Structure 1
Amino acid sequence: MTTTSEQTTPSRRRRRAEPPRRGRARGGRAAQRRNRGPLRTALLVALALAVLGTAGLGWIYLKLNGDIATFDGDGLSRNRPDAGSSKGENVLVIGSDARTGGNSALGGGSKDDVGRSDTAFLLHIYADRKHAIAVSVPRDTLVTIPPCKLPDGTWTPTQPNTMFNAAFSVGQTAKGNPACTQNTVEELTGLRVDHTVVVDFKGFAALTDVVGGVEVCVPGDIYQGDLNPNRTTKGELIFKEGEQNVSGQKALDYVRLRHGIGDGSDIGRIKRQQAFVSSLLKKIKSDGLTPTKLLPLATAATESMTVDPGLGTADKLISFAMSLKDIDLHNTKFVTIPWRYEGSRVAVVEPDASDLWATLKADRTIDGKDASGKKSKDSAPAASAAASPTPAGNDSGNVSGDGAAVAVYNGTTTGGLASEAAAALTEHGFTVTGTANASSQQHATTVIQYGPGLRSRAETVAELFPGARLEAIDGSVVNVVVGASYTGAGASAAGASAPASPGAVPGSVADGARSADDDLCSDLSYGSGG
């Protein structure tokens, strides 16, 4: 019997004895493999780098996603303003002075303090993505806080004539109530807030560190006693007059500083906060607004930031930031809501405030230019939208009340206005349940008050009163409080009291405006030394 090895030996010999096919020697194939070696290695290395790079980027995004905190969207109002046809966006930015989560080390005070809104502004990003305007709302502004959700799931009653920053404290939770502040801003402005961002002390300090500090200007020498008025001595010099670079704790001290500059008010501090944000934007712009530059910023910000669910992922947050890259510094404006002192508090001045909101809703810039991004032939609809801060709807001649009940009050010292307004309402099919004088007769503009679930009816009523603003109240009622801007039933029904065309924001607002490229040391406070 022949073994396996004996059977295979001849065949092996034959294979070795066969001449090479078509002249290709084994050495040629080996050489070919050697030639392919460097190319194959390069491809493998490139593939490995691509995988590692993707994994690294994925890790960064996972980390950012893990750091982003969102607030409960269920706490947003049940009667929100319509989004409208504009493709512009409104972003509410809240600076929280909560001392929890390590913030007390930066801001002082008890580590158990509940969250309060130390500063807030509404950023309107125009539809053309080339203009933006930030409207600061002083924390002491007297506003109506609409119903807000409490931690136990119940809703608060409407709180009229209440300080603005109290909205953030509704529910007395450590991280505050951003949804309630958003509800209050929507109630105040009649504008739909698309996104809300809350930044605490740590987040703010981290941002300034990442960009390498921010250039600021100090109007005068500042001492420890100015930063902490409870000190019994002047203390050491902490800010020398003039331009300087600040970051971290120093930056936080600068934007929170009130005393020792101007009239020592929160209004004056807003001026410096606007200048600071301008300088921060200038620094970010000069470094380049790219994903590579944004990632360190995003990392620093997200660790101490709370956002609405619509910005709750890293890709959404960075995508939103990148959408702002074409906004020029000169076209980025900072203003303060029209205001006046009312004792130790701040009152909103009407009709200037309503005119401001109407201008933003129509995507008109501070000087009245159309920034809607539409072609010129579409400018006319934008013009009519600016005529009223409330929804324009149909022409007033087509308004139908369908028997809806409305009460009318005279908010002025001019006799007969309530009766004239009642006649206009009756003519358009509303049922007027009564007329009387309002508790206050100092109303500059007409106010349409409405109870829960009645905003739509109030908006219909508002079509007969151009320039009116909406106000949520308790009770199942709709009230018209006629203001001094009302010119009578005939003129109102014809729309005569509405502006003939959209214009710039009111002079009281525009005169105090700041551009992001303005001189660093200009207009930093109110009162002496400002």
Structure 2
Amino acid sequence: MTAHVKTKPHLRPVRRGRRGRLLPLLFVILFPMMLCCGLSFLFAPHTDILVLGVDSRDGEGWVARADSVMLVGVDPRRFGVTMMSIPRDLSIDVPGYGIQRVNTVNMLGEMEEPGYGPDLTKAGIAQSFGVTPERYVRLDFNGFVRLIDAVGGVTINVERAIVDYAYPTADGGTMTVEFQTGSQHMDGERALIYARTRHADDDYMRASRQQQVVSALLGKMIVPVYWPAVAGALAQTVDTDLNLWDIVTLAPPILIGGSRGERLVIDRGYITTTANGVAVPDYELIGPWLDAYFE
């Protein structure tokens, strides 16, 4: 295993048109098939998926910054799932745009051409980390809330008390939010606040909380009674380029292994600062993660 990352040639990514939202319908139709044909995952290759949580709500569209950027590596044969969170203030090399903060790339792509944000972000990840995500999943704040509510909420173990006196509200203001330590059941809105709050600590702890919520969500989504509601939530909120075969082969390992998979955060120990003060990944330190969990 090498600790260094070989970056890809500086190529312009190929644009694609706006994608249809087939995931919800396929989810309803194919999930029983997935359980009956469970061995299909044995023929699936390792797949890396870019997950974008976009800072917008209903009616605001996709021309927005990414509040959450996560690379998910799925090894179907081992039911292995690894989540690696990329801090939103980290700068990466984006084809055609140079060095940009990772949370702005989706917006840059959407401003250039509707539907181009995920492809541009994938190209920036490939250019900077040497890992090319094959697929993406993108959702906004309301999508996150609906998914959590679709499974009846999630139970989260809050490891340390949080008091945020400047949590941003939808109308541009702020409010105080608080979480006490211990196990707490959260609905969608409460889970969104928990996943977004950062003033009590920092973006790295926030990334850990986001992974905690996603793991809890996946642990609930495997229960069949929630599938109709989950499908309805997906129909309203999720944008993805996952195809039929992806869903058949990747959903079982993600749902079974996602709640207990590896959770990695690129925190300040894995970041270096350039001479002009730009935060960039320390590839020598991150390299072993990329070699071990992604392709």
TM-score by length of 2: 0.71
Aligned-pair CA distance for 1:347: 2.2
Between the aligned partners of 2:68 and 2:52, the Cα distance in structure 1 is 6
Q: Which residue of 2 aligns with 1:180?
A: 120
The 5 Å alignment of 1:262-341 reads: 262=201, 265-285=202-222, 287=223, 290=224, 293-308=226-241, 310-311=242-243, 317=247, 320-327=250-257, 329-330=259-260, 332-337=261-266, 339-340=270-271
Aligned-pair CA distance for 1:349: 0.9
Change (3 A) 1:205 1:126: same
Q: Which residue of 1 aligns with 2:31?
A: none
Q: How many residues are aligned here?
A: 249
What percentage of aligned pairs have identical amino acids?
Answer: 25
Bigger RCO (CA 8 Å, 6+ sep):
2
The 5 Å alignment of 1:54-453 reads: 64=25, 87-101=45-59, 111=60, 114-146=63-95, 157-159=96-98, 161-173=99-111, 177-218=117-158, 219-222=160-163, 225-228=165-168, 238-260=178-200, 262=201, 265-285=202-222, 287=223, 290=224, 293-308=226-241, 310-311=242-243, 317=247, 320-327=250-257, 329-330=259-260, 332-337=261-266, 339-340=270-271, 342=273, 346-361=279-294
Answer yes or no: is the 8 Å Cα contact 1:339–1:346 preserved in 2. Answer: no
Between the aligned partners of 1:272 and 1:258, the Cα distance in structure 2 is 10
Change (3 A) 1:64 1:344: farther
Between the aligned partners of 1:356 and 1:221, the Cα distance in structure 2 is 30
**Unaligned stretches of 5+ in structure 2?**
1-21, 27-43
Answer yes or no: is the 8 Å Cα contact 1:216–1:243 preserved in 2. Answer: yes
Aligned-pair CA distance for 1:198: 0.2
Report the residue type matching 1:64 in the other structure.
L
Aligned-pair CA distance for 1:304: 0.6
Aligned-pair CA distance for 1:325: 4.5
Corresponding residue SS for 1:178: helix
Answer yes or no: is the 8 Å Cα contact 2:74–2:253 preserved in 1. Answer: no
Between the aligned partners of 1:135 and 1:320, the Cα distance in structure 2 is 18
Between the aligned partners of 1:167 and 1:267, the Cα distance in structure 2 is 19
Between the aligned partners of 2:213 and 2:150, the Cα distance in structure 1 is 15
Answer yes or no: is the 8 Å Cα contact 2:123–2:132 preserved in 1. Answer: no
Q: What do you get for the CA RMSD once the two structures are aligned?
A: 3.3
Report the residue type matching 2:286 in the other structure.
A
Aligned-pair CA distance for 1:267: 1.6
Summarize deviations over 1:259-279 as a string: whole Å, max 9, x none.
12x3xx212211111222222
Between the aligned partners of 1:303 and 1:95, the Cα distance in structure 2 is 15
TM-score by length of 1: 0.42
Compare CA radii of gyration and give the structure with the larger one. Answer: 1
Kindly indicate which of the two structures has a greater share of residues assigned to strand. 2
Between the aligned partners of 2:142 and 2:189, the Cα distance in structure 1 is 9
Answer yes or no: is the 8 Å Cα contact 2:154–2:220 preserved in 1. Answer: yes
Between the aligned partners of 1:199 and 1:328, the Cα distance in structure 2 is 18
Change (3 A) 1:94 1:136: same
Answer yes or no: is the 8 Å Cα contact 1:115–1:176 preserved in 2. Answer: no
Corresponding residue SS for 1:249: helix
Change (3 A) 1:214 1:345: farther
Corresponding residue SS for 1:327: helix
Answer yes or no: is the 8 Å Cα contact 2:109–2:118 preserved in 1. Answer: no
Summarize deviations over 1:242-294 as a string: whole Å, max 9, x none.
3311112211111111112x3xx212211111222222223334x3xx5x643
Change (3 A) 1:238 1:324: closer
Between the aligned partners of 2:74 and 2:62, the Cα distance in structure 1 is 33
Answer yes or no: is the 8 Å Cα contact 2:80–2:253 preserved in 1. Answer: no
**Unaligned stretches of 5+ in structure 1?**
1-60, 66-85, 102-110, 147-156, 363-530
Change (3 A) 1:345 1:258: farther
Summarize deviations over 1:332-384 as a string: whole Å, max 9, x none.
1110236226387532113122332222357xxxxxxxxxxxxxxxxxxxxxx
Change (3 A) 1:267 1:249: same
Report the residue type matching 1:327 in the other structure.
G
